[in-house]
Amino acid sequence: MGGCVQWYVAHCRRKKSVKPADKSHPLGYGKESYVWSMIAAFGVFTAGSIVSIYTGIKEWNATESETNYTIAFIVLAVAFVLEGFSLVQAYRQSKKHGEALDVSALGYVVDTSNPTLRGVFFEDLAAVIGLVVAAAAMGMHAYTGEAYWDALGSIIVGLLLGVVAIFLISRNRDFLVGYRVTDRMHEYVLSELLNHPDIDSVSYLHLEWVGPKKIFMVAAVDIAGNQKEEHVAQKFEEIENLFRDNPVFQEAILTLSAPNADILKLEDI
């Protein structure tokens, strides 16, 4: 059931977040991805957390029942291999992207604008840890004959799922309300602006994620030389289009710096 819910949410996330920009949504529908990711985290993880904790509490004083531990351990082992394989794949992808940005795999997956990768990574991590906890609890049950070990394992897994759910909900909320890009990306864009031959200085630069790998940029710049208003507007459009041609930028808007405005420098980032 949980897998079906995950699949449906992922389908909605992909379908709705790639819709092109229109009059009602000039920056596109990229943030739909965070909405559906938040629904997935709240619905699947939180429901799993509550059910697991409730089951553990309910079964705490349960009487001993006959259990085929061999089959149970085989099921856990198969699940561990499958979830572990998925986690390794997500880790490798995170590590690859992280190395390009000079950050760790964990650092990348925490800060990435891609909620799907973050969700898969932490879902699989929670699953792998949960399976280890379940196996340990069942082993203690088999060794001691005390059923409360299984109940304790269920409660621990429920708490783990709750922590993951709260974390994923929090990260998706951050991106929904407007999340600033990393300092490294900020430095890169500022450098690109300052290195442009028609830009003399930059006094303001706003870079915000508006979807997975989609940035909205607003910059206040001073154009080199004393140019007429129509020439300035033309230069602005040319520079804006340079950024718009980059698939990472959803929209780029330039405006003139205010007189005597403080100048941004790379070393200040």
Distance CA 9, CA 67 (A): 36
Q: By residue range, what is the domain housing residue 196? A: 183-268
Provide the pLDDT for residue 4: 56
Q: Are residues 28 and 101 in the same domain?
A: yes
Provide the pLDDT for residue 142: 87
What phi and psi, each to the nearest 5 degrees, are found at residue 250?
A: -75, -40
Q: Are residues 86 and 155 in the same domain?
A: yes
201-211 pLDDT per residue, tens? 999 999 999 99
Q: Among residues of the chain, what percentage have pLDDT more than 90?
A: 58
Q: Are residues 192 and 149 in the same domain?
A: no
Q: Are residues 133 and 24 in the same domain?
A: yes
- Which residues, at least 6 apart from 232, have a Cβ–Cβ distance to it below 8 Å? 223, 256
Among candidate residues 199, 120, 131, the one with its CA nearest the CA of residue 164: 120
143-188 pLDDT per residue, tens? 888 888 999 999 999 999 999 999 999 999 999 998 989 888 999 9
Q: Are residues 13 and 106 in the same domain?
A: yes
Provide the pLDDT for residue 134: 94
- In the three-class reduction of DSSP (H, G, I as helix; E, B as strand; rest coil), residue 209 is classed as strand
CB-CB contact of 86 with 79 (8 Å): no
Distance CA 250, CA 252 (A): 7
36-70 pLDDT per residue, tens? 888 888 887 778 899 999 999 998 877 666 677 88
For the four alpha carbons of 254, 260, 265 and 269, in that order, the dihedral sign comes to negative
Provide the pLDDT for residue 161: 93
DSSP 8-class letter at 266 = G
Which helix (H) or strand (E) element contains residue 231?
helix 229-244
Instruction: Write down the pTM of the prediction.
Output: 0.84
